[in-house]
Structures are given as C-alpha cells and as structure tokens.
Amino acid sequence: MSAAAERPASPEVSPEADLRTRLAAVARAHGFAGAVYMHVGHVLDGAADPSFAPAPRRLAATGGFDGERYLRRDYLRHDPLAARAATEFTPFAWTLSSLDRGSPARARVLAAFAAWGVEAGVVAPVQDHALGPAFLNLHRREADSAARADEGALLLEAARLHAAVRAAPAAFGETTRPDRLSAREMQVLRLAAMGRTEQETAAALALSRRGVQFHLARAVDKLAAANKTAAVARAVSAGLIAI
C-alpha cells in the first residue's frame, strides 16, 4: 500500500495538485502508468432532466488521461468504466479490447482513451450512499505487463482518496454545494423525488401547502432549474438528496 494516499495535504500545495501527486504515487506503487480519481456522484441516475448533462463531481487524473477533454466532451454519459464502477463493490480489471463499443458515442470515448494511452487497468469502486459512487482507475498501455494490483490495497487506497476529497469539498471546483440548500428545502425536494404531492409533503413536514410551495420555489431558484422536476433531477444528480 502506498503511504501517499494517507499523508495530509501539504500547506504549500493546492489540494488539487496534492491529489494528483497522490494519484501518481499510487500508480507508481502498483506499477501503472497513471491514475484517475472520479467522484461520479448520482449523475448517471439523473437522466430525468435531459438539459442537465452529467458531469462528475470531481475528476483528477495523471499519466496522459485528459480530464479537461473528458469533461468538455461529456464523456461520462457514455463511459462504460464509470457506469460499471457506479454499481460494483469490488475491483475489476479491464482492457479496451474487451469493452463493448456499443454505440458511436461510446466508441468515441474508447478511442479517446486509446489516444491517451489508457488501454488497460484496474478500477477500485467506492460506494458512497449519500453523495454517490466514486472510483480509482489505475491505467496503463495494454502491452505493459509490469502492473500488479492487490485488490484489498486498492480498495483502501480508493477509500482514503475519496475521504480526502470529501474533507475539502470546495477545493476541486464543486459548483453545487450542499449548504446552498436549507435542510427544509432538501426535505421537500426529497419527498418530491419520492412522488409525494404538495399536500402529502405538507402533512409529513407539518407545513402548510403554501409553505411547501415556498421551499420548493427557493430550491428551484437555487439550483437554477426550470421547474420542480428539473430541480429534483439536479439535486439527485449532484448528490444533494438520496432516494
């Protein structure tokens, strides 16, 4: 296990740069060329609002993986590794040659991976119920046979990295902060996500129907959503509420 994932961030180094340093150290310790940490959040379940393109809550990468292009091209929507990591609980190995192209959009994602030299690796998932899944992806060129992976060590590395990122939520460009919504606003959104009517929500929270409408309207405004349905989808996708 690499000690790099355990040490605290240096005060002279930005948290984002420190995370990349940790990722590079973990990759080297296991014989890989690079690593990607991604906090997927609940975005892969947020398809109810088609205007809300999925983007990971956090993304940091080393070893040639182009995180900026990944975000700009909206690759998360069609990334088979992220989709699998969002539901797995144990590490899994992968190669580009074994991944199903499936669609032109997915083929473009995998072609980008190949261009970056990200052709094989192992993914260690982190299942965070409240804020959505994350994962650590150690990668290499497929022809590189030096890589090795201890599943238990990788799971621990991934968990430690995720805990470090959660400890500094504003340091990596989070655009939708949990404290933007009040507790009451999150309550009414969660009940709306569960299909409760305004009257049912009012009864459950001991509010008037007008009070429920007030909190919903504030949540819609804070999330820059078009309506209640869109606000619910964005709140779920951003990990602000769990169903």
What H or E segment, with its residue span, contains residue 143? Answer: none
pLDDT of 222 reads 80
Separation between Cα atoms, residue 128 and residue 166, nearest integer Å: 11
Query: What does the block give as tokens for 81?
Result: 């590794």
CA–CA separation, 135 and 28 (whole Å): 18
Q: Tell me if 64 sits within 8 A of 159, measured CB to CB.
A: no
Distance CA 85, CA 78 (A): 13
C-beta separation of 37 from 71 below 8 A: no
- Show the low-confidence residues of the chain (pLDDT under 50): 1-4, 9-10, 46-51, 172-179
Write down the H helix ranges in the chain.
15-29, 67-72, 80-85, 104-115, 151-166, 183-193, 198-205, 209-222, 228-237
So what's the pLDDT on residue 7? 53
Sheet containing strand 134-140, strands side by side: 58-61, 34-39, 134-140, 120-126, 92-95
**Exposed, middle or buried by CB within 10 Å (0-12, 13-18, 19+), for 176?**
middle
pLDDT digits (tens, 9 = 90+) for 161-182: 999 888 875 554 444 444 467 8
Task: State residue 45's pLDDT score.
Answer: 56
This prediction's pTM: 0.67
| Residues 81, 14, 236, 200, Cα dihedral to 10° | 160
Closest by Cα among 220, 240, 239 to 231? 220
Return the pLDDT at 51: 47
What is the C-alpha to C-alpha distance for residues 27 and 198, in angstroms, rounded to an integer? Answer: 50
